[in-house]
Amino acid sequence: MLKSYFLIAWRNIARNKIYACINILGLTLGICACLAIFLLIHHELSFDNFHPDGKHLYRVVATTQSGNDKFTSAIAPPPLTQAARSATSGWEAIAPYYLLNDSTIFTEPSWFSIFKYDWLAGNPATALNRPFSVVLSEYSARRHFGNVPSAGLIGKELVYRDSLRVTVTGIVKDWEGNTDFPYTNFISLNTVPVSFMKNEIPLDQWGDGNVFGGGRVLIKLGKDASPARMATQLSTIASGKVRLEPHQKLSLRLQPLSDIHFDTGVLDGYSRASRATQYILAGIAAFVLLLAVINFINLSTAQSIRRAKEVGIRKVLGSSRRALTIQFLVETGILTLFSVVLAVLLVNPALHLFHTMVPVHLHFNPFTPDVLIFLLCVALLTTLLSGLYPARILSSWLPVLCLKGNGAPIGGEKWWLRKGLIVFQFTISLIFIISTLVIHRQIEYMSSEGLGFSTDAILNIETARGDTTGRARVLAEKLAQLSGVSMVARQSFAPISGFMTQVPLQYKGAQTVNIPAALQIADEHFIPLYRIKLLAGIGLRPADKLKEVVINETMVRDMGLKDPQDAIGRRLLLGDSEIPIIGVVADFHEHSYRYSITPIVMADLPVAENSIAVELATNGKSISHLQNTLASIEKQWKAIYPETPFSYTFLDESIQRIYEKERETAFLLSTAMCITIFISCMGLFGLSMFTARQRAKEVGIRKILGASATNITMLLSRNVIALVVLANIIAAPIAWYGTQLWLRDFAYRASISPWIFVIAGLAALCIALVTISFQTIKTALINPAWVLRSE
């Protein structure tokens, strides 16, 4: 019996090749989009899910509250680890760690109690006990020493930061899973107090409410321990030790390891995914597949009239409604199977097309259990959703009506259902169109509005932090003498990097005002190099300590002053020190457009100037000349930092990367928009065929009575216009609300013009009319004698 179902289904598919191809194409696009998005979401959910004790692992997160402002980061006071070990209970291991660079950390042997590694050489219990010891991952060992056996690497030496010489005491196997802890070099924390790193990592200082070191802490709790109780104990310890201003509050909490990858509210320098983005991706996948299913239903309904006689004959010959339903579901299943196979073949090219959005380590293997289960579920769901409704409708027709030869009975309720499905399709398409236009408008706004400083031909070079040798100053002086360089400035960080330190300042004017301000450390060339407008007073002057500052306009307003000139000579309190204001600059963005401009104070403090900004002389210069300048800069770098690789970033490229997520979202929505419009148009094409066949006799009679081809075209297009207009009315408020939620993340946002909705509606209407134009014109030009020959 099943064999006959497949044979009949194959014959029907072969008999209706055009419809079959359109259905397969629509389902292929829907399933391919679902599969690609499934791979992306599955990849993000896989981060750090391979640790055996993952559900017992936590990270300490600190929140400092000052009035209504909250600052949350994964930075913990350095002495917290020892205090927690002696004053708390319920933990199995506590591991502090400090970043030296993206792949290297200082930590203790307890790190290897928190995370499990396979050891290829060395002893995990003693490998990091002594100062100047380092454990390498297998990848890092190969990178430094080539293909030397692991046991032969014990005792080898490595140098970090030019002069930090350490000895290899262990080799561990690389993790195979995705992780937010991609460290491959583990230096013993005991190295810090006996090396120059003690100036950068003060292990014995609790710090204050704005700065308390760069340490991070991981905790492994016992099975019955309470994270909330542990967090309360840690908060009590830290609040009693950290120096807090009267208006500040400090609280610590334990963040589960599984939450780290998606928690965008914690400042920790990780590049992570947003749960909201995953929900958006899942929603897009669901809607695209649903639109493909709706398209399939509409096309199946459109060709149902052709199969009316077949249904009538089968029922007369004794076929039951259940048997007919199974037959039509088998046909749908075959089409779905073809679509799944094509989708699997298309996924890799699709991922390659979107390579800028796809993680580097994402690879598609259709034979993994997760993918196979997902494809099976999608295939079954698609078959049931696509085939069940048409199958039940076709199998419900009465034989006597089907065999009259005048077509199948189509009830008004079912007709309105098909119209409703078309409205739903175009509503989703319009939501994507409007959302895409709004996001592009916001990106254009962020690109066109001024940042308050120049970004042209400026490159930034990171130097050693806490450098007390003066090499950064020497390098800056050498670079300034190069012929291809216009100006050089030393700085803590470049503008809009978002890394400036918060300092608690106080201004005593008509009334005392506490002002948490961002501290930008820079030399006297910083303001002219970035073309920051000086509104009053003078710029920065060379200094060796924090003894005078330049502030921005926002700081002036927070002080309660109206004119920037009024701020000159006023004094700010930082602890017990009074610092005079010597200048005021115009506001500039120190963060992305997501954040408001905050009060900024600028000062020259050479020991904290960890970066060099170089403005290249580009006027009239060729590309080869600029390349020669970069080569000269690298030569000077190697002369001063011979053991550190030279690297640099252009400021404008760094700024572009800040809005990379927004551009990815815009690109994703644009792609989803194109897919949904294409699928919706196929559904609309099916509906136009259905309408033309249903109203063929009406068109013939109207033509005999004198209706022109234009009149007929307008008659057949009127319903489509009404449906698209209705879809626009439904989509506009939904899209407006959704885009408002998205724009809410930006402190500075573009206004949503009503013209965006008008343009989207007109675009959808034009697309719809073009889609049905072939069928409507063909019907309008039909010979009425041919249509009415049976009457």
Reading phi first (left if > 0) and then psi (alpha if -120 to 50, else beta), residue 114 is in alpha
pLDDT (0 to 100) of residue 217: 93
User: Greater confidence, 776 or 341?
Assistant: 341
101 in any annotated domain: yes
User: What count of residues does the chain have?
Assistant: 791
Q: What is the pLDDT of residue 121?
A: 92
The answer to whether 363 touches 43, Cβ cutoff 8 Å, is no
Does 7 score more than 80 pLDDT?
A: no
**Whole-angstrom distance, CA of residue 766 vs CA of residue 337:** 34
Least-confidence region, from 227-236, 428-437, 694-703: 694-703
Question: Residue written as tokens 């502030």?
Answer: 551
C-alpha angle with apex 466: 462 to 467, nearest 5 degrees?
A: 75
Sign of CA dihedral 395, 396, 401, 406: negative
Distance of alpha carbon 521 from alpha carbon 612, whole angstroms:
12
Question: Which pLDDT score is estimated for 270?
Answer: 60
The overall average pLDDT reported for the chain is: 83
Q: Which DSSP string corresponds to 706-743?
A: T--HHHHHHHHHHHHHHHHHHHHHHHHHHHHHHHHHHH
**Least trusted range by pLDDT, from 125-139, 325-339, 683-697:** 683-697
Verify that 237 and 312 share a domain, yes or no. Answer: no
The domain boundary, picked from 643, 677, 712, lies at 643
Q: pLDDT band for position 421 (50/70/90)?
A: confident
Q: What is the reported pLDDT for 308?
A: 67
**Identity of the residue numbered 107:** T
588 domain-assigned = yes
Residues 1, 71, single domain; the answer is no
From residue 367, give the alpha-carbon distance in Å to each of 336, 372, 373, 429: 19, 6, 10, 33
Host domain of residue 300: 1-47+274-409
Domain-terminating residue out of 620, 643, 666: 643
3-class DSSP state for residue 606?
Answer: helix
Position with higher pLDDT, 402 vs 121: 121
Residue 168 in domain: yes
What is the tally of structural domains in the chain? 3
Q: What is the pLDDT of residues 584-596, one digit of tens each?
A: 999 998 887 877 8
> Each residue of 628-653: pLDDT tens digit?
888 999 999 888 887 777 888 888 88
Residue 723 lies in a domain: no
Residue 667 domain flag: no
**pLDDT band, very low/low/confident/very high, at 468 (cuts 50, 70, 90):** low
For residue 106, the cross-strand partners are 98, 187
pLDDT in tens, 178-221: 888 989 999 999 999 998 888 778 888 887 665 566 689 999 99
Please tell me whether residues 493 and 636 are part of one structural domain: yes
Residue 653 has a pLDDT of 83
Q: Is the pLDDT of residue 789 over 70?
A: no
Residues 618, 629: contact at Cβ < 8 Å?
no
pLDDT band, very low/low/confident/very high, at 261 (cuts 50, 70, 90): confident
- The two most distant CA atoms of the chain are separated, in Å, by 104
Give percent above pLDDT 90 in the chain.
22
pLDDT bin (cut points 50, 70, 90) of residue 512 is confident
> Quick one: average pLDDT of 94-99?
92
* 501 part of a folded domain: yes
- Residues 91, 235: one domain? yes
Residues 362 and 223 in one domain: no
Strand duo 549-552 + 577-585: pairing: parallel
Residue 491 above 80 pLDDT? Answer: yes
Query: Which of the two residues, 296 and 604, has the higher pLDDT score?
Result: 604
- Kindly tell me if the per-residue pLDDT of 790 is higher than 60: no
Q: Give pTM, 2 decimals.
A: 0.74
Residue 619 and residue 512 share a domain: yes
Which residues pair with residue 254 across a beta bridge? 60
Q: In terms of domains, do 576 and 624 share one?
A: yes
Same domain, 81 and 219: yes
* 27 and 117 within one domain: no
Mean pLDDT for the stretch of residues 249-260: 89
- Inform me whether the pLDDT recorded for 101 exceeds 90: no
Final residue before a domain boundary, out of 643, 671, 689: 643
Gap between the Cα atoms of 568 and 652, Å rounded: 32
Rounded-to-integer distance, Cα 764 and Cα 761, Å:
5
Helices (H), 46-163: 80-87, 111-114, 138-145
Mean pLDDT of the region 115-122: 93
Assess contact for 248 and 238: CB atoms under 8 A: no
- Average pLDDT (247-275) is 78
Report how far residue 453's alpha carbon sits from residue 385's, in angstroms, rounded to the nearest whole number: 56
- 674 assigned to some structural domain: no
One domain for residues 211 and 310:
no
- 210, 65 contact by CB (below 8 A): no
Task: Let me know whether 389 and 471 are in one domain.
Answer: no
d(CA 442, CA 449): 10
Does the pLDDT of residue 304 top 70, yes or no? no
pLDDT at residue number 212: 61
**Residue 754: pLDDT band with limits 50, 70, 90:** confident
Q: Say what the pLDDT of residue 405 is.
A: 54
Q: Band of the pLDDT at 412, cuts 50, 70, 90? A: very low
CA dihedral over 291, 292, 298, 302, signed as positive or negative: positive
- Could you report the per-residue pLDDT of 29-79, keeping only the tens digit for each? 889 989 988 888 888 888 888 998 889 999 999 888 776 667 788 888 888
Are residues 485 and 588 located together in one domain of the fold?
yes
For strands 133-137 and 512-521, give the pairing. unpaired
Q: Please check whether residue 301 lies inside any domain of the structure.
A: yes
List, in sequence order, every residue forming a beta bridge with 460; answer none if it has no partner.
613, 649
